Amino acid sequence: MSKKAVSLTLDEGNLLWLRGRGYGRGNLSAAVDDLITEARTGRLGETMMVRSVVGSIDLAADDPLLERADTAIRDLFAASVSRPMRVREPSSSYRPSRPGGSRHRG
Amino acid sequence: MAELPAAVTDTHALLFHAAASRALGRRAAAHFEACERQQALAYVPMAVIWEVSLLSRASRVNLRRPVRDFFEDLFSNPSYHPIDLSAEQVFVADELRFTRDPFDALIVAAARSIDLPLLTRDADIRASGTVRVLW
C-alpha cells in the first residue's frame, strides 16, 4: 500500500511509551504504522490510567533495609529442595491376559 | 527524539521506591522521581519480578495486593517496562563469576543486555565493574 506523509502531535505519555519500547532510536513512522495496524487488528488493550506504586507497600518491620531478604529467599529454595521427591511411573495400560485366573509358581 | 535517562532496577531499589523508604540512595531516588514524572525510564528484569513475588511469599514485604496487581500498577506508568528474560541473559549470567546469587547474576545480565546502568546498592556488583551502577 502507498504511504502518505502526515504531521503528528503526540501526547507526552505516549511519546515516552514509544521511547521505552525502543522506538525512539528507529523509524517513528514505522512504529506508529505498526501500532495502528495492531489497533486495527484488535491486539492492543484498553488505555490504562497511571497508578503510582509509591507508598503502596510495606517492608517487614523487623528488616526495613531488606538485609535478610537473600536469606529469606534461600530458605524458600532450601525448603523446596529438601522435600522428598515423589516420582511414580504411570502404570502400563497393557496387561497380558491370564486365562484361568491366578497362577502359582513352583 | 531526545534520549531520556534510563536505568535497570534491582529488586531492593524498586521495593524501597514503592515503600517510599529513605533507604534509597540519592541518585536512585532522583531517577525514580523522574520516572514518576514520566521524564525517565526504568526497566524491570524478570528476575526482579520473581524475587518480589518470593519476598512477598516469605512475608518480607507486604504488597497489599497480589503480585500481579502490584506490577500492573507499576507498568500502568509508561516510564516502567519489564525486560523479558532471554537465553543470552542466562548465558551472560552463567559467565559472571563475582556472585553465586542467581538473582543478582540475572539482574546484572539484564542490565548488560540493554547496556544501561543498574539501580542498586549492592557492593559486590559495584566492585565487579560488570555494569555501571547508580545509587
Residue-by-residue pLDDT tens, chain B, 135 positions: 557 899 999 999 999 999 999 999 999 999 999 999 999 999 999 999 999 999 999 999 999 999 999 999 999 998 999 999 999 999 999 999 888 889 999 999 999 999 999 999 999 999 999 999 999
DSSP B88-117: HHHHHHHH--S---HHHHHHHHHHHHTT--
Please work out, in degrees rounded to the nearest 5, the angle formed at the alpha carbon of residue B37 by the alpha carbons of B15 and A20. 80
To test the contact with chain B by mutation, choose from A16, A35, A44, A65 the residue with the greatest count of B C-beta atoms within 10 A, namely A16
Which chain B residues contact residue A19 at CB under 8 A?
1, 4, 41
Q: Å from A53 to nearest chain B CA?
A: 5
Picking from A14, A53, A60, the nearest residue to B74 by CB comes out as A53
To test the contact with chain B by mutation, choose from A66, A67, A81 the residue with the greatest count of B C-beta atoms within 10 A, namely A66
ipTM value, please give it. Answer: 0.90
C-beta separation of B105 from B99 below 8 A: yes
pTM, entire model: 0.75
**Letter for the amino acid at B89?**
Q
